[in-house]
Amino acid sequence: MKIVVLAGGTSTERDISLVTSHYVCESLRRNGHDANVLDVFYGIDDNKAASFFTEKNDLDELEKELKAKSHEIETEIKNRKTIRQGFFGPNVLKLCKEADVVFMGLHGANGEDGKIQGTFELLDIKYTGTDSLSSAISMDKDLTKKVLVPNGIPMPKGIVLHKGEEAKDIQFPCVVKPANGGSSVGVSIVNSKDEFTKALDYAFESDDTVLIEEYVKGREFSAGVLDGKPLPVIEIVPLKGWYDYENKYADGATKHVCPANIPDDITKQMQHWAVECLKVAGVTIYGRVDMLLDENNNIYCLEINTLPGMTPTSLLPHEASEAGISFDELTQKVIDLSINR
């Protein structure tokens, strides 16, 4: 098949998306597909577009080139708003229409939040992962809570704060995080009023809406779901601190234990909640739910990831491997499920 691996974009997770797309594209090529990586924001010129599906791009060089452009993003966004050029780069929609399917290698805003999925649905472009509505619900942590909690999903208590509003009666410790975002960008664990002020500023750099949640002291886990079926639960053990951006992506910073060393009944309960979270939010194909387990064995669901990372340190491929599904089998299954949805 002719496959566009859609990468990059403009979110705070842009560089992680480039790594995910690199490894996915390598896998798709091993599976016999004509696959190339395409930056959704920067696109490519007409000459490269003409041979996109016949000439394989050098993935190492392309990743370096696109990462080098990451620091230009804010300036380029302002320029495009001035000339009303729009989000999609040159030839992006053209090549996506020509492809048999688009593998969504994007993470974060303008990629995982349903906007691109909605565009593709209107243009009848096949793409991997769940649909636009469930993507939007899962990306917005405030909206996720409003959908999941009334359906009995256990989640930490919290409030929403919009930019310009004053926070009152905050209990410490607490967690401050942007309502839209991933990879723990903009997230802080706060123990005092001074820390809280700094944490709000940090979170508002990423989003105009912030969640302030009770701090749950506990072990960190993630439970993946593929085609409605749970994968083995994985425990995330940072060697220092908590599972922030640095610990997520720095080699050797975090230990992953899969299957998690927990009693069978807790494993089954986590898997149950993971399946329920995706079901209630309408998420199909695949996804991952992050959770906490406190000292009294209470489970708290934190968020749904509708486009889980596919890097060498990513959780979902690790869980799939433990279930006997290789990385190449995983990428192929995601494509097959998406095309046949």
The domain tally of the chain equals 3
Residue 72's pLDDT is 92
Residue 260 belongs to domain with CATH number:
3.30.470.20
* Count of other CB atoms within 10 angstroms of residue 112: 29
pTM: 0.91
Q: Which residue has the tokens 């000459």?
A: 47
Residue 30 belongs to domain with CATH number:
3.40.50.20
Which residue(s) pair with 209 in the sheet?
162
* Count of other CB atoms within 10 angstroms of residue 56: 14
DSSP letter at 228 equals T
pLDDT in tens, the chain (341 residues): 999 999 999 998 999 999 999 999 999 999 999 999 999 999 999 999 999 999 999 999 999 999 999 999 999 999 998 888 889 999 999 999 999 999 999 999 999 999 999 999 999 999 999 999 999 999 999 999 999 999 999 999 999 999 888 888 888 999 999 888 655 677 899 999 889 989 998 988 878 889 999 999 999 999 999 999 999 999 999 886 554 555 445 566 689 999 999 999 999 999 999 999 999 999 999 999 999 999 999 999 999 999 999 987 899 999 999 999 999 999 999 999 999 98
Model pLDDT for residues 76-129, shown as the tens digit of each residue: 999 998 888 889 999 999 999 999 999 999 999 999 999 999 999 999 999 999
3-state secondary structure of 324: coil
Establish if 34 belongs to a structural domain: yes
Q: Which residues contact 211 (CB under 8 A, 6 or more apart)?
A: 141, 142, 158, 159, 160, 161, 175, 176, 177, 178, 179
- 34 & 85 share domain: yes
- 201 & 313 share domain: no
- 162 & 238 share domain: no
Could you give the C-alpha distances from 45 to 64, 91, 210, in angstroms and in order?
Answer: 18, 7, 39
Establish if 169 belongs to a structural domain: yes
- 190 & 172 share domain: yes
Q: Which residue has the tokens 């991997």?
A: 128
The residue from 214, 234, 261 where one domain ends is 214
Establish if 133 belongs to a structural domain: no
Establish if 134 belongs to a structural domain: no
- 106 & 74 share domain: yes
- 310 & 233 share domain: yes
- 12 & 44 share domain: yes
Counting Cα atoms < 13 Å in the Cβ hemisphere of 232 gives 20
Cα Rg of the chain, angstroms: 20
In angstroms, the CA 242 to CA 262 distance is 20
Q: For residue 250, what are its two tokens?
A: 């720095």
- Write out the residue range of the structural domain in which residue 250 sits: 139-151+217-339
Model pLDDT for residues 164-199, shown as the tens digit of each residue: 888 888 889 999 998 886 556 778 999 998 899 899
- 204 & 228 share domain: no
